[in-house]
Chains A and B, each alone.
Chain A
């Protein structure tokens, strides 16, 4: 079946512009996560959605970052007024979300490589 898909695969933008990154989770997965993979910081958690619950935004690095998940499926990560340090690969993952205690397997998408000039 189809895995997690992300678009665009690559995005080059100028400093100060806003960008939107999209994630389509695996059908039926109620949990969705955004991570960032950068040279200096490794893989770091950004935000987590579980069903209709309020998202866990504890990993967002600044208020320039926001994300939404419409209809419990597709998610968009928005970065406003991009800075050069935002350059990274942004990864989306989804999981069934039905196993308690953190035991779900997260399935990752291919990522969006963001370059801020």
Chain B
């Protein structure tokens, strides 16, 4: 079975600082990779996803993520955060070619951006 680890549980930073959230997965085969975000009081929504091709994926709101196959990693980045990026971020995977699309999530990282 696959597993997902997010190294930081909480991150606090100031506006305009750069953000990088780590995500590592454990699975013997090829996976699809996702980052979801949950803003305070809102539901989970997709930031970006990677299936194949260019390992640098750009998502909404200026976020990007890089898939490094050799490191089993899919880290999320944003060069300059805003107060509105305060949220909880979840990395998720599912095996490519699987009959079902059930996602395995990491434990989440709470990000607080101070104005």
Asked if A and B bind, the verdict is: yes
Chain A interfacial positions (CB closer than 8 Å to B): 3-4, 31, 33, 35, 42-45, 48, 50, 56, 58-59, 91, 93, 95, 97, 100-111
Give the complex CA separation of A44 and B107 in angstroms: 10
List 9 A-B pairs, Cβ < 8 Å. Answer: A3-B43, A31-B101, A33-B101, A33-B102, A56-B100, A102-B94, A102-B101, A103-B49, A109-B43
User: Does the CB pair A42–B106 fall under 8 Å?
Assistant: yes
Interface, chain B (partner A; CB < 8 A) = 32, 36, 42-46, 49, 51, 90, 92, 94-108
Distance to closest chain A CB from B67 (angstroms): 14
Across the interface, do A110 and B101 meet the contact criterion of CB distance under 8 Å?
no
Task: Determine whether the beta carbon of A50 is less than 8 Å from that of B100.
Answer: yes
Given A101-B32, A101-B98: A106 and B103 interface contact (C-beta under 8 Å):
yes
Are B90's CB and A43's CB within 8 A?
Answer: yes
The answer to whether B43 and A108 have CB atoms under 8 Å apart is yes
Chain B residues with CB under 8 Å of A35's CB are: 103, 105
Known A-B contacts A105-B49, A109-B43; A48 and B101 likewise in contact (beta carbons under 8 Å): yes
By beta carbon, the residue of chain A nearest B42 is A110
Which residues from chain A contact B44 at a C-beta distance below 8 Å?
91, 93, 108
Known: A91-B44, A110-B43. A102 touches B106 (CB 8 A): no
B51 near A103 (CB under 8 angstroms)? yes
Residues from chain A with a CB closer than 8 A to the CB of B105 are: 35, 42-44
